[in-house]
């Protein structure tokens, strides 16, 4: 264990991301309806946790901001646990400055307009529609953060149809540098599963990676991020 800790220290001093601070978001957000009910999504957090670990293995100082997951906090990096999109936004702001941000979390687009103080009961009149309001857009905010904008902002797009087209539109709309797009249709088994098949969308075009383990996607993406940031020291 001591040996592993020493190895970690050496790697952090010598890896290609040594001296860099990278922010990673992962997992779903949960948006409360009342004290016991909430809106959720099927993100397991696996891809984001794997990316955080891969970046740390290249020497980066990593802040992982995670929604509710069943995963243990990865060793060798700082994990900040949150529940809602608004809490995630705050944690992300507090983690800046960063040299790069990888927004892998499946942040809820919407939350209930109001949170009932007590558990909502059936009243015989049938349920009222659940009014929703838009959550803050963490990826767009990071991409427009002015002096605090990370040099590289990577977003994820979880789509179920016309994946590449949606992802290209998202790249432009959000103002980020890369979009990692994946098809999370239930038939693919990707959301919640251990494998991923992604496309990388940049200003230069689209690159499709074969289906591989989420750990392998993470290592390849971390290498790509290290190459994009180049040498030298950053915000760590």
Positions annotated as catalytic residues are 41
* Residue with smaller CB distance to its own copies, 9 or 130: 130
Q: How far apart, in whole angstroms, are the C-alpha atoms of residue 64 and residue 180?
A: 18
SS3 at position 5: helix
Contact region with its own copies (CB under 8 A), list: 38-46, 58-66, 72-80, 88-96: 38-46
Does 129 help bind its own copies (rule: CB under 8 A)? yes
Q: Which of 24, 39, 198, 218 binds its own copies (CB under 8 A)?
A: 39
Bridge partners for 153 per DSSP: 101
Cis peptide before 97 (omega within 30 of 0): yes
- β-pairing, 152-159 vs 100-103, is parallel
How far apart are CB 72 and its own copies at their closest, in Å?
12
Query: According to CB under 8 A, which one of 159, 168, 221, 225 is a site residue for its own copies?
Result: 159
Query: Residue 126 or residue 231: which is nearer to its own copies going by CB?
Result: 126
Applying CB under 8 A, among 5, 9, 130, 172 the residue interacting with its own copies is 130
Which string of b and e fits 63-95 if b means at least 16 CB within 10 Å? Answer: bbbbbbbeeeebebbebbebbbbbbbbebbeeb
The residue (of 31 and 99) whose beta carbon lies closer to its own copies is 31
> What is the C-alpha radius of gyration for the chain, rounded to an integer number of angstroms?
18
Interface contacts to its own copies, rule CB under 8 A: 30, 33-43, 70, 106, 108-110, 118-119, 121-122, 126-134, 158-161, 166, 184-186, 191
């Amino acid at each position: 264990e001591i040996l592993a800790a020493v190895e970690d220290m050496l790697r952090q001093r010598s890896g290609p991301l040594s001296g860099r601070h990278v922010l990673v978001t992962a997992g779903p957000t949960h948006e409360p309806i009342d004290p016991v009910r909430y809106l959720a999504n099927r993100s397991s957090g696996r891809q984001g946790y794997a990316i955080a670990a891969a970046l740390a293995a290249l020497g980066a100082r990593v802040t992982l901001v995670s929604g509710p997951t069943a995963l243990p906090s990865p060793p060798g990096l700082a994990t900040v646990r949150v529940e809602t999109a608004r809490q995630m936004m705050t944690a992300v702001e507090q983690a800046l400055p960063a040299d790069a941000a990888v927004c892998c979390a499946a942040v809820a687009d919407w939350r209930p307009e109001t949170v009932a103080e007590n558990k909502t009961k059936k009243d015989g009149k049938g349920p009222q529609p659940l009014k929703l309001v838009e959550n803050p857009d963490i990826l767009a905010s990071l991409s427009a953060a002015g002096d605090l904008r990370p040099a590289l902002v990577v977003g994820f797009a979880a789509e179920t149809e016309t994946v590449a087209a949606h992802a290209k539109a998202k790249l432009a709309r959000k103002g980020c540098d890369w979009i990692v797009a994946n098809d999370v249709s239930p038939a693919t088994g990707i959301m919640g599963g251990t494998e991923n098949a992604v496309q990388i969308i940049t200003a230069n075009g689209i690159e499709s990676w074969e289906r591989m383990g989420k750990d392998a996607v993470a290592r390849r993406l971390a290498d790509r991020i290290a190459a994009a940031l180049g040498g030298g020291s950053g915000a760590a």
